[in-house]
Amino acid sequence: MRKTVLIIEDNEQNIYLMDFILRNAGFEVIQARDGASGIDKALEASPDLILLDIQLPGMDGYAVAGKLREADGLREAPIVAVTSYAMVGDKEKALAAGCTGYIEKPINPETFIAEISRFIEPANAKE
């Protein structure tokens, strides 16, 4: 059974790149362009992994992570912040908001699947 990844991201180039890499690795991908629709899609789909941008229009990623952690069925879902925030303390702030992990942008296409595999087994891994 294919694993599902929800990308909550407003930048089209970032969405395209992550979607491309994930689909090529065998994942099913769902996309949301803002926090509110990301929360709705997470509640509908119960994804195996959520990739969350912090700089979102309207509701920022910190608030989205908090709302996701309050939702039944999503309290334990891995949420990985994928963000350009790379200053001292930014990773800790994302983790404190409810994220499970943190990946700095720009993402490296060669290592992206390995980075997220700490939180979800790659879809094309042998079982």
Tens digits of residue pLDDT in 82-112: 998 777 788 999 999 999 999 999 999 999 9
Number of domains in the chain: 1
To 10 degrees, what angle do helices 90-97 and 61-70 make?
A: 30
Host domain of residue 16: 4-116
Instruction: Give residue 15's pLDDT.
Output: 97
What CATH number corresponds to the domain at position 37?
A: 3.40.50.2300
Residue 27 domain-assigned? yes
- Would 46 be classed as within a structural domain? yes
Indicate whether 122 belongs to any domain. no
Letter for the amino acid at 80? V
pTM of the model: 0.93
Residue 102 lies in a domain: yes
Sheet strand arrangement including 79-83:
28-32, 4-8, 49-52, 79-83, 101-104
33-56 tens-digit pLDDT: 999 999 999 999 999 999 999 999
